[in-house]
Amino acid sequence: MAEITLRKYHGLGNDYLIYDPNRNACELQERQVEALCRRNLGVGADGILYGPFFDGDKMRVRIFNPDGSEAEKSGNGIRIFSKYLKDMGYVTEESYVLHTKAGETRVTFLNEQGDLMRVDMGYPEFVAKEIPVVGFEGEIVNEAIFFGDNFYNATCVSLGNPNCVLMLEEVSQKKAMQLGPYVENSRYFPNRINMQLCQVLDRENIQIEIYERGAGYTYASGTGACAAAAASHKMGFVGDRVTVHMHGGELLVEFARDGRIDMTGPVVYIGSITLAEQFFA
């Protein structure tokens, strides 16, 4: 069996493994994703970025959650994969376009090292059928929805993947871990959903705690940060420039006049990993 190598990066503590099909002979399977992401028995990660794949001049990545399910989009994942592409010489331009299951995303490197970048996250979508959410029509903004044992003020938003933002006076990791499974697997969300607990600190700052579909509690999330900022912006709680504070650190989210979202944040390279031959056997 040929040697298998991966590279590991993190964005504010949200860590991913890169599995490059151009440098590894084995095709990645769902069971292998689960095995690799296990922190006690595998390498450990919040997900796997599988790529790059080439379709003409288009460069594509597949994003997998630790449970083996495939995600449409990941803000941290896009930044991490972009850093990998720059490190390995796939991308030499200051700005390029990456394709995910949710469509294309433009990434701009803000320094020579490529470890700080701005990502065009597109337009937030609040309409129920586009997220999707069943049992509701039109936009879901500040709706009272029952989860677990109580009603919560919820705003649902898609940024290529589904998110449910719950506005609270105070947020905590404990609350996110208690409430997350109820929200993720609620009957309202046929594709499951990512949850963000959001506390507005002032017009330029929000604090969030995150429970991700297929991953559980995570230190940070790019799409989650943008979703919470978009919900806060939609309700008029914040302005056009918002710092999103998370367990793992901060991301800057900015809104253009037409509502389009830019996200700016860092990436850290952790190291290269060579797997034992029997791991994929």
- Give tens-digit pLDDT for 106-154: 999 999 999 999 999 999 999 999 999 999 999 999 999 999 889 999 9
Q: Which pLDDT does position 29 carry in this prediction? A: 86
Place of tokens 């507005």: 200
Same domain, 154 and 76: no
pLDDT value at position 1? 56
Residue 235 is part of a domain; what is its CATH number? 3.10.310.10
Locate all alpha helices (DSSP H) within 124-172, ordered by sequence.
none
Q: Are residues 209 and 97 in the same domain?
A: no
Q: Are strands 268-274 and 194-202 parallel, antiparallel or unpaired?
A: unpaired
**pLDDT for res 87:** 97
279 in Cβ contact with 266 (< 8 Å): no
Please indicate, yes or no, whether residues 230 and 248 belong to a single structural domain of this protein.
yes
Residues 111, 165 within the same domain: no
Query: Does residue 156 sit in the same domain as residue 42?
Result: no
Residue 189: closest CA among 158, 210, 167: 158
Q: Radius of gyration over alpha carbons of the chain, in Å?
A: 18
Q: In terms of residue numbers, what domain contains 43?
A: 5-122+267-280
In this structure, the answer to whether residues 157 and 99 fall within a common structural domain is: no
Q: Do 153 and 234 fall into the same domain? A: yes
This prediction has a pTM of: 0.93
pLDDT, position 156? 98
Question: Are 114 and 132 in a shared domain?
Answer: no
Which residue ranges are tagged as binding site?
A: 14, 65, 75-76, 161, 194, 212-213, 222-223
Q: Give yes or no: residues 138 and 242 share one domain.
A: yes
Same domain? For 108 and 132 the reply is no
According to the model, what pLDDT value does residue 162 have?
96
Residue 34 and residue 42: Cα distance in Å, rounded?
Answer: 9
Binding-site residue numbers for substrate are 14, 65, 75-76, 161, 194, 212-213, 222-223
Question: Which parts of the chain have pLDDT scores under 50?
Answer: none
Looking at the fold, whether 11 and 110 belong to one and the same domain comes out as yes
The total number of structural domains in the chain stands at: 2
Residues 116 and 138 in one domain: no
247's tokens: 């367990």
